[in-house]
């Protein structure tokens, strides 16, 4: 079996502050505030997100609480689902090895506080759409995030299956399987791709391999792919290099 592991990633568009979770990518990005004189870095981890009918909400929110060894109070809707599947749940699942929240949780303001970024007692499911809307992380990853992220940290939950960036005069494209707001798989948006590439070009001159760009969109492998070269040696000033590479910190 041949495995392809990306050595770099394109950062999502938008503010590079706090936590950003890109749902199609199943990935969390953390932008710690740099101290004076420090270079900005990004730390990134894989996550699980909400499954169909239990979607992770989109939008801006923030961390309202940090909980070590959390108890789980499954909502009535989840208890009914488990009971229907022959797996009844108690009203409270205490901290310990049987708790699906793991050892650490960060509660978000979204949904009146019912959504969390938390660990797991089933690491094999990380990286998939399997939760009831929460964001699930590997135990060691959530421990690191728990130690780094203070209460009040802004969190952006986004749906960005296609990312574009200029890096050293190279135009890179990264595509992931697109889904709608309900979690349903949808066809790749070729028109959106064209708009994003045109916007990346701006007033600059570049050679773009449009066939390769469309093939990358359809393949949705998550691998940054070179699809264009700038005619000038300098990277377009509007790009501000979206790639997580070089001195950026990455994990998993």
Residues carrying an active site annotation: 118, 134
CA distance to 115, 212, 245, per residue, from 84 (Å) = 23, 47, 47
The pairing of beta strand 243-244 with beta strand 9-10: antiparallel
Burial of 240 (0-12, 13-18, 19+ CB in 10 A): exposed
Contact 109, 23 (CB under 8 A): no
- Checking phi first, is residue 125 left (phi over 0); if not, alpha (psi -120 to 50) or beta? alpha
Contact 172, 243 (CB under 8 A): yes
Contact 43, 29 (CB under 8 A): yes
Q: What is the CA radius of gyration of the chain?
A: 20
* Best CA proximity match to 96, nearest among 136, 66, 68: 68
Separation CA 100–CA 139 (nearest Å)? 11
Residue 223 tokens read as 């691998």
Backbone φ and ψ of 177, nearest 5°: -60, 125
């Amino acid at each position: 079996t041949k495995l392809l592991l990306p050595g770099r990633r394109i950062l999502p568009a938008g503010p590079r502050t706090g936590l950003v979770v890109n749902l199609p990518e199943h990935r969390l990005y953390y932008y710690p505030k740099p101290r004076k004189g420090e270079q900005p870095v990004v730390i990134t981890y894989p996550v699980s997100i909400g499954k169909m009918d239990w979607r992770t909400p989109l939008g801006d929110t923030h961390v309202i609480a940090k909980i070590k060894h959390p108890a789980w109070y499954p909502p009535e809707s989840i208890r009914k689902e488990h009971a229907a599947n022959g797996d009844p749940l108690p009203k409270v699942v205490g901290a310990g090895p049987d708790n699906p929240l793991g050892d650490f949780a960060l509660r978000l303001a979204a949904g009146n506080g019912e959504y969390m970024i938390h660990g797991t007692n089933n690491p094999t499911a990380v990286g998939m759409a399997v939760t009831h809307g929460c964001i699930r992380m590997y135990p060691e990853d959530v421990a690191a995030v728990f130690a780094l992220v203070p209460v009040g940290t802004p969190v952006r939950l986004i749906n960005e299956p296609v990312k574009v960036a200029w890096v050293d005069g190279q135009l890179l494209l990264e595509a992931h399987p697109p889904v709608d707001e309900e979690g349903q798989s949808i066809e790749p948006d070729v028109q959106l791709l064209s708009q994003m590439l045109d916007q990346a070009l701006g007033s600059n001159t570049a050679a773009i391999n449009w066939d390769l760009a469309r093939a990358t969109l359809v393949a949705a492998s998550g691998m940054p792919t070179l699809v264009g070269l700038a005619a000038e040696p300098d990277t377009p000033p509007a790009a501000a290099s979206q790639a997580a590479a070089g001195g950026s910190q990455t994990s998993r």
